[in-house]
Structure 1
């Protein structure tokens, strides 16, 4: 059972209206992506500033990336289509040039296609109550043709290389 399904079940007894809203929103996302061909799902790596820009992987984040329309990879050697950096604090922008000069990043499809994103929402992937918010952020980044929630510039930005 997916985490969001567990959350919906838990919410049904506490807040049935919120459970219904979460279920409806998740069903819309899942339904839209059901019709996309597999090659439309980008390979994506998340790098967490707080962890020294090591690949950010967990069962929960892999599930969120999958639901949002991507495939999570745990290595820059996998040549990701998109790189998402999860920001911890404002020092990110002073350390970003060093990160982006790494050969594995420079040689990636993400770098070549100017597909580097920064999630600056401080609550990203921190609590279950914000599960839908996390999915919306990722869906806008991973499948921008299909999802628009107005979070660009608020919760995340595209980092322009060129």
Structure 2
């Protein structure tokens, strides 16, 4: 746990009290403990822009802590390139967009053969995350983000209460 907190301490921020830091470390510890024996880490892609396709280059350690593995494809890319990596989970989190706004924007994905043939799409593991709160997390919201991702990646192990407001499953 210590090395993880050292690596994430810059993200937690300097302006938190020792008690707050301890509480955040405890929340991270709970996630790590529950995932201790989970060896299958699904490949996760986080879409931050639909056209042209852009994948979020989030901190890979955060996705690892949540029980997944961030796809090596990141930044501006193509649907074909994403299909080659074939992620097991796709999270669509468009910056500044609510879940409802996502629903209005993703209709074109149904005609995208690359998207429709992704392992994640076929396996019903496409999620819409609230883009108004998903990015630029620090301190407590950073740990909220970690818990949200843990809920998406490992729904059998985690129920932090973000489903519905922080993310929804997008059934194709």
Q: Is the 8 A contact 1:9 1:19 kept in 2?
A: no
1:4 is matched with: 8
Which residue in 2 is equivalent to 1:64? 62
Using the TM superposition, give the Cα deviation of residue 120 of structure 1 relative to its aligned residue in structure 2, in angstroms: 1.1
Gaps of 5+ in 2: 74-81
- The equivalences for 1:113-128 within 5 A come to 113-128=123-138
Separation in 2 of the partners of 1:21 and 1:149? 15
Q: How many residues align?
A: 155
Supply the RMSD in Å over aligned alpha carbons: 2.2
Relative contact order, CA 8 A, sep 6+: which one is greater? 2
Relative to the length of structure 2, the TM-score reads 0.79
Deviation track 1:38-68 (CA, whole Å, cap 9, x = no partner) reads xx2111100013874411114x2x2211110
Describe how 1:97-112 pairs up with structure 2 within 5 A: 97-112=107-122
Q: Is the 8 A contact 1:84 1:116 kept in 2?
A: yes
1:160 lines up with 2:171 in the alignment: yes
* Structure that is richer in helix per residue: 1
Task: Indicate the larger mover: 107-116 or 81-90.
Answer: 81-90
Displacement, 1:101?
2.6
**Alignment partners' CA distance in 1, 2:42 and 2:56:** 16
For the pair 1:80 / 2:91, whether they are aligned, the reply is no
Note if contact 1:65-1:72 (Cα within 8 Å) is conserved in structure 2: yes
Q: Does 1:143 align with 2:172?
A: no
State how far apart, in whole Å, the 2-side matches of 1:131 and 1:20 are: 14
